[in-house]
Amino acid sequence: QITLKESGPTLVKPTQTLTLTCTFSGFSLTSNGVGVGWIRQPPGKALEWLALIYWNDDKLYSPSLNSRLTITKDTSKNQVVLTMTNMDPVDTATYYCAHRRGYCTNANCYSNWFDHWGQGTLITVSS
Amino acid sequence: DIQMTQSPSSLSASVGDRVTITCRASQSISGFLNWYRQKPGKAPESLIYAASSLESGVPSRFSGSGSGTDFTLTISNLQPEDFATYFCQQSYSMPLTFGGGTKVEIK
C-alpha cells in the first residue's frame, strides 16, 4: 500500500525559505521508473505542478518557479524534500506530494501522472 | 506551456444522472490526458490515465475518451461521492499542466 505524507511549517513569513518533507512508504525511490512530484493548490483554485524527481536523481521543475525550487531525495529515509525560496503571500496554498506513474525507456521517462497523493499541507505566507 | 481548458466550470446534477465534462488542450497531446476527482477538503484521486484507462479500483461508471486536443470524462449513474471537483492534466510534455476544474454540484 502506497502512502505519502507532507510535513513542514504551517506559517512562513514573506522572503523566507519554505522546506517541505514528503515521507512515503509502499515503494522505493531506488526502483526503475519511480518518481515523486510536488503539486500545489491555492485556496479555491486549480492545481499547479511544481517539481518531480526520479529514481535516477533526474529532476524537473516548473519553468515559472525554476529559480526558486530545489527537490532532493533521501532514499535511506524514504523522503523527498522540496525547498522554495523567497516566499510571497501568493504562494499560500495546499502543497501535495504524489507518487509518479508513467513510462520510461532506456533514454528517458515520459507521460507523468500521479496515482497516489499525500493529504496535503496548507502553507500560509504572511507577516 | 500547453494550456488545458475545462468546460463547464460547474454543473448541477442529480444522483443517477449521466454527466460529461470536456477538456481541451491548446495543442495536440495525442492520448496523454489524465483525470482526477477531488472531494471537498481532500487530496485529488487519480481516475483515468492515458485518456481512457481506468485506474485500479475506480468504478466502471467513470469513462474517458478523446485524442489530439479534445477529451471527455463521463460519469454514468452519478453517486453521492461523485459530487466533487474534477481536473484534467496533460502528460504529453513538460511542464505538466492542469485544467481549471469542473465542480459537480447537487441539483
A·B CB contacts under 8 A: 56
Q: Are residues A49 and B34, on separate chains, in Cβ contact within 8 Å?
A: no
Q: What is the pLDDT of residue A106?
A: 81
Q: What is the pLDDT of residue B49?
A: 97
Length of chain B: 107
Q: Which residue of B has its CA nearest to A122?
A: B41
The answer, for B50 touching chain A at a CB cutoff of 8 Å, is yes
Q: Which residue of A has its CA nearest to B102?
A: A46
Nearest-CA distance A126 → chain B (Å): 22
The answer, for B45 touching chain A at a CB cutoff of 8 Å, is yes
Length of chain A: 127
Grid cell for residue A124: 500560509
> A107: pLDDT confidence band, cut at 50, 70 and 90?
confident
A91 close to A43: Cβ distance less than 8 angstroms: no
A1 has pLDDT over 90 = yes
Mean pLDDT of residues grouped by 10 in chain B (107 residues)? 98 97 98 97 98 97 98 96 97 97 95
Q: DSSP E strands: which ranges in A15-125?
A: 18-25, 35-41, 48-54, 59-61, 69-74, 79-84, 93-104, 109-117, 121-125
User: What is the bridge-based pairing of β-strands A11-12 and A121-125?
Assistant: parallel
Bridge partners of A7, per DSSP, are A21
Query: Which of A4, A24, A113 to mutate to probe the B interface, most B CBs <10 Å?
Result: A113
Grid cell for residue B68: 489530439
Dihedral pair phi/psi, residue B81, rounded to 5°: -75, -10
> A105: pLDDT confidence band, cut at 50, 70 and 90?
confident
Report how far apart the first and last C-alpha atoms of chain B are (Å, whole number): 36
Q: What is the pLDDT of residue A108?
A: 84
Dihedral pair phi/psi, residue A44, rounded to 5°: 70, 10
Dihedral pair phi/psi, residue A68, rounded to 5°: -105, -10
Partner residue opposite A117 with nearest CB, options B44, B89, B100: B44
